Amino acid sequence: MSPGPPGKPSSLNSKLYHMNKNLFFAMFSLAFLACHKDVHLNSATSMQSSNSVTFTDTAKIPINDLGTGTYMGFTGGLYPGGANTPSGTYASDLVSFVSQILPFTPKGKVDSTGKGKIGVIGIGGSTCGDLLLTLKNKTQGNPATNPYLRLVSCAWGGGKASLNNIMNPNDKYWSHVDTELMKNRLRPTQVEVIYFDTEDSTSFVDFPGRPYQFRDEFEAAMRVCKSKFIKLKVVYVTGRTTTFFRREIQHKEPSPYYNGWGLKFAIEDQINGVPGMKYDGADAVAPLVTWAWYQWADGTTTPRQDGFIWTPYMTADGLHANDVGLDTLSNRLQNFLLTDPVASIWYKNNNHRLKN
């Protein structure tokens, strides 16, 4: 941020300064939307007119909309082959793992009498915490959701929970996690689900260099999570929303877009059996990682194929969601958890009766 003018401004100058500042942001926003409108309307038209969409290889298209199209030579889709849903052995394993999500006591015993809990925690930065706390308010006490769920935000803002922090098992971030769990009467042995959302602190932007670095750091962080939570079954990721008016390298485009690619590459590593992401068997080193719903959109009023949009007016500062934005994001995430055939196994109230 640039320093302010020296000395104390007059009342009139101060008013003019703030009026000009507000006018600048309003004009900037309108110009931003106008510059992108025609391009994305043409993209939307082509999507409606053809089942085989050809995208400009350098255009930032939401990964789930990209499908079998390519970005910088890399095929889209949240999963391999341009797909947006899991398949094969990985999909079967996903069902098997989430079916084992049960309410555990602090001593590791299944208990449905009230002592058992299903720990769902948020690991990451401030945007992770904001979303998880909003989801928590819509989950606990909701008759549609599993009554054994205990949602706890272990997120930490202020740049204290980047991938570089989380991938270090001795970082002070993990002391923060322990404190939050204790405050909420949840033990590490009861944590079975993680919602993960953060960024690294790198200062370069390159493709595929940045996504590859993010992938490697994320995979290291997953191995740490596996070692911290012995009953961890699955980690859900959403990627990041696009951002506006930000100057920090890690918080301005294309970094948020590349975040999603890094997650995609990490999940592909796991599906392809890369040893550092092995999730099954006695020698597993990482939890199973999968997509919840993907939350990057191009920042215009033109919606994605699923109708989702993300604009500056849904944010408080171009990075953090405001109340409207949080309501939008949490509704999308909760709808996924309630309707996805796999996630609903553990999140939805299925009236299961457990034998203790």
Is the residue at 294 inside a domain?
Answer: yes
What Cα–Cα distance (Å) separates residue 324 from each residue in 83, 186, 337?
Answer: 30, 30, 20
Q: Are residues 23 and 144 in the same domain?
A: no
Residues 6+ apart with CB under 8 A from 138: 330, 331, 334
Q: Are residues 41 and 161 in the same domain?
A: no
> DSSP secondary-structure letter at 348?
B
Domain of residue 210 covers 88-347
Q: Are residues 35 and 125 in the same domain?
A: no
Q: Are residues 237 and 296 in the same domain?
A: yes
Q: Are residues 143 and 199 in the same domain?
A: yes
Please give the Cα distance from 290 to 98 (Å, whole number).
Answer: 11
Partners of 348 in beta bridges: 145
Q: Are residues 117 and 38 in the same domain?
A: no
Q: Are residues 315 and 192 in the same domain?
A: yes
Is the residue at 146 inside a domain?
Answer: yes
Quickly count: other Cβ atoms within 10 Å of residue 2's Cβ: 4
Quickly count: other Cβ atoms within 10 Å of residue 343's Cβ: 21
Identify whether the C-beta of residue 225 lies closer than 8 Å to the C-beta of residue 235: yes
The bridge status of strand 149-153 relative to strand 118-124 is parallel
Is the residue at 301 inside a domain?
Answer: yes
Please report the pLDDT score of residue 242 as a whole number: 96
What Cα–Cα distance (Å) separates residue 308 from each residue in 64, 79, 100, 220, 251?
Answer: 12, 20, 32, 31, 21
Q: What is the pLDDT along the chain (356 residues), one digit of tens a residue?
A: 433 333 333 443 444 334 443 443 444 444 444 444 333 323 333 333 333 344 457 789 999 999 999 999 999 999 999 999 999 999 999 999 999 999 999 988 999 888 899 999 999 999 999 999 999 999 999 999 999 999 999 999 999 999 999 999 999 999 999 999 999 999 999 999 999 999 988 778 899 999 999 999 999 999 999 999 999 999 999 999 999 999 888 889 999 999 999 999 999 999 999 999 999 999 999 999 999 999 999 988 889 999 999 999 999 999 999 999 999 999 999 999 999 999 999 999 987 545 44
In this structure, what token pair is assigned to residue 347? 């999140």
In this structure, what token pair is assigned to residue 111? 């208990």
Number of domains forming the structure of the chain: 2
Q: Which of 331, 295, 338, 339 is nearest to 78 (CA)?
A: 295
Is the residue at 77 inside a domain?
Answer: no
**Half-sphere exposure (Cβ direction) of 79: Cα atoms closer than 13 Å:** 16
Please give the Cα distance from 260 to 227 (Å, whole number).
Answer: 25
Q: Are residues 129 and 255 in the same domain?
A: yes
Q: Are residues 208 and 297 in the same domain?
A: yes
Q: Are residues 177 and 322 in the same domain?
A: yes
Please give the Cα distance from 286 to 234 (Å, whole number).
Answer: 9
Whole-structure pTM value: 0.84
Please report the pLDDT score of residue 57 as a whole number: 76
Query: Which amino acid is it at 182?
Result: M
Q: Are residues 113 and 232 in the same domain?
A: yes
Greatest distance between any 2 Cα atoms in the chain: 74
For 304, the 3-state DSSP assignment is coil
Is the residue at 296 inside a domain?
Answer: yes
First to last CA, the chain: 58
Whether cis (ω within 30° of 0) applies to the bond prior to 208 is yes
DSSP per-residue codes, 253-282: TTHHHHHHHHHHHHHHHHHTT-GGG--SST
Is the residue at 239 inside a domain?
Answer: yes
H/E run at residue 151? strand 149-153
Is the residue at 233 inside a domain?
Answer: yes
Q: Are residues 30 and 148 in the same domain?
A: no
Q: Which residue has the tokens 């191995």?
A: 223
What Cα–Cα distance (Å) separates residue 194 from each residue in 112, 129, 148, 197, 238?
Answer: 21, 12, 15, 10, 12
Is the residue at 1 inside a domain?
Answer: no
